[in-house]
A and B are shown apart, each in its own frame.
Chain A
Amino acid sequence: MEWADDIYAAFKDAGINQVAYVPDAGHKRLINACIADNDIQTVSLTTEEEGVAVSAGAWLGGDKCVLLMQSSGVGNCINMLSLTETCRFPFVTFVTMRGQWHEFNPWQMPMGTTTKLALETAGLLVDEVDDPNDVGPRAAAALHKAFVGAQSTALLLGQRLVPVKTFGK
């Protein structure tokens, strides 16, 4: 899970000052690093779509925000992403994947297997990574794409990067 530290370092390099998230096991280390950072305001959400809107508000006010979520949350965001697309807000989300690698829970499959398609259909540029050594460079590239290149983008963090969840089975 050291790759989370590489994403955090990329946040600092890019000047990220707001991080909106829905609590997630895969993002736990990164979320805790952001919470511990006095220069980053963390916003714990009740649903992922709020984070799309928080990101837009942050940009209106001159801040740079990222959204952290799990693949199951992507479906919650689709209509709110019309805000990002219509107003061409820079937007970046880091998505921990379920439904890919040793998935225990069949309820995670519908969103997990269609995350990339759903995000691309909503207009985002999507990159994927499952090599822990490549997470840092791809995170930096995603942030650059959003805040320098003025795009909306997602980096999907493959399920192989996170510990296998079994619920004891």
Chain B
Amino acid sequence: MMSERAEQFPLHRRDVAKTLLQARDDMLIVTGLGSTNWDFTAAGDQPRIFPLWGAMGGAVPIGLGLALAQPHKRVMVATGDGEMLMGIGALATVAVNAPKNLAICVFDNERYGETGMQTTHTASVTDLALTAKGLGIQDADTITDETSLKAHLDTITGADGPIFRVIKVRAEKLDFVLPSKDGVHLKNRFRANLLGEGAL
């Protein structure tokens, strides 16, 4: 067991979110329960981000449905390792459909952040990039520091997908920066922004 190592990871999740958000300003983004919601809200809450306050395991398949509906837009799912593990089969579903416009970034702090920082399976034996490859997503890799994050940025924001990146981020307890909890509002603002007011 290497449950302590994540406390030394060099990348800070709030910085990673900011980097990804600023890398391309027209990506449609789905963020998973829960810390990735706070990371992207801190980086700049906006209508093209759909944050999930529940539906654990749902971030990737929501991203898939969105990517299939909007093949000419870049779609990014940003979620945590715990949320990813709960819906891991969805990576096989993504691989089979192979949407070119979908990138999945897992912010892996090897912890369940909202329940008290208990270790997830990635803290010991589970390798999510290897899992994604095994499930059929060939372009899967792990990012561990600033240099490799920069090197992978163009791939995440523009290369033919599906792209899967595990981004190892420090296990740290941060202040909450909360988006709206109103699901109807979050859905409507996303659709109005993407499809126009007529979509409401």
Contact = CB atoms under 8 A, between A and B. Distances in A.
A79 B56 contact: yes
Q: Select the residue from B63, B70, B183, B190 with max chain A CB neighbours within 10 A.
A: B183
Given A44-B96, A83-B54, A57 B65 contact: yes
A26 to B, nearest CB: 21
Given A43-B97, A80-B57, A50 B87 contact: yes
Contacts of A18: 65, 68-69
Q: Select the residue from B30, B60, B90 with max chain A CB neighbours within 10 A.
A: B90
A54 B56 contact: no
B69 A61 contact: yes
Nearest to A43: B97
A82 B54 contact: yes
Given A43-B97, A50-B61, A54-B64, A60 B187 contact: yes
B114 to A, nearest CB: 16
B194 A54 contact: no
Contact of B190 (A55, A58, A60, A63): A60
Interface residues of B, number: 39
B50 interface: yes
Given A53-B58, A83-B55, A61 B187 contact: no
A52 interface: yes
B77 to A, nearest CB: 10
A145 to B, nearest CB: 18
A40 B191 CA distance: 21
Category for how many chain A residues contact B: 20 to 34
A65 B53 CA distance: 22
B69 A63 contact: yes
B92 interface: yes
A57 B56 CA distance: 14
Contact of A47 (B30, B56, B89, B199): B89
Contacts of A47: 89
B57 A49 contact: yes
A71 B1 CA distance: 41
B55 A43 contact: no
B69 to A, nearest CB: 3
Q: List the 5 shortest-distance A-B pairs measured between CB atoms, nearest first.
A: A57-B65, A61-B69, A87-B183, A46-B89, A53-B61
Interface of B: 28, 30, 50, 52-70, 73, 87, 89-90, 92-93, 96-97, 183-184, 186-187, 190-191, 194-195, 199
Given A54-B64, A80-B58, 16 more contacts: A41-B97, A43-B64, A46-B92, A47-B89, A51-B61, A54-B65, A56-B58, A60-B50, A60-B191, A63-B65, A63-B69, A79-B56, A80-B55, A86-B183, A88-B184, A89-B187
15 contacts: A52-B58, A53-B59, A53-B60, A54-B61, A57-B65, A60-B191, A61-B68, A61-B73, A65-B65, A83-B52, A83-B62, A83-B183, A86-B183, A88-B184, A89-B187
